Homo-oligomer: A and B are copies of this chain.
Amino acid sequence: MEKSLIDEILRFRDARNWKQFHNPKDLAISLSIEASELLECFQWASSAEALASRREQIAEELADVMIYAALLAEATGLDLEAITRAKLAVNAEKYPVEKAYGRKDKYDRL
């Protein structure tokens, strides 16, 4: 996420004096709830049906996930870009191309 967007999210929080509520545990709860609301857009629907009828809601719920990800990163002192790059490196070890190519199995079943 661009630094300017993260800053905007933090300014939004601080303008409302919400940092006092934003302990990491409740932020992790909130991120999980938003991810579930995003999933709800696909309940009883195929991907195509969901995109056809709820694209705006999908965008809003995915954005809420991003906002809580930024807030949780700030509250825990993590850098979103750095941890994501680091995790890609871990995943590259767990899912080497020659084993994982065209397979959807978990790494422990490859």
| Interface residues, chain A, with chain B CB atoms under 8 Å away | 1-2, 5, 8-9, 12, 15-18, 20-21, 23-26, 28-47, 50-51, 55, 58-60, 62-67, 69, 72-73, 76, 78, 80-81, 83-88, 90-92, 95, 97, 100-104
Contact B72 A86 (CB under 8 A): no
| A63 contacts B42, C-beta separation under 8 Å | no
Residues A16 and B101 in contact, CB atoms below 8 Å apart:
yes
Partner of A62, one of B23, B34, B80: B80
Which residues on B sit within 8 Å (CB–CB) of A67? 84, 87-88, 91
CB-CB under 8 A from A46, the residues of chain B are 25
In the bound complex, CA of A63 to CA of B40 (Å): 18
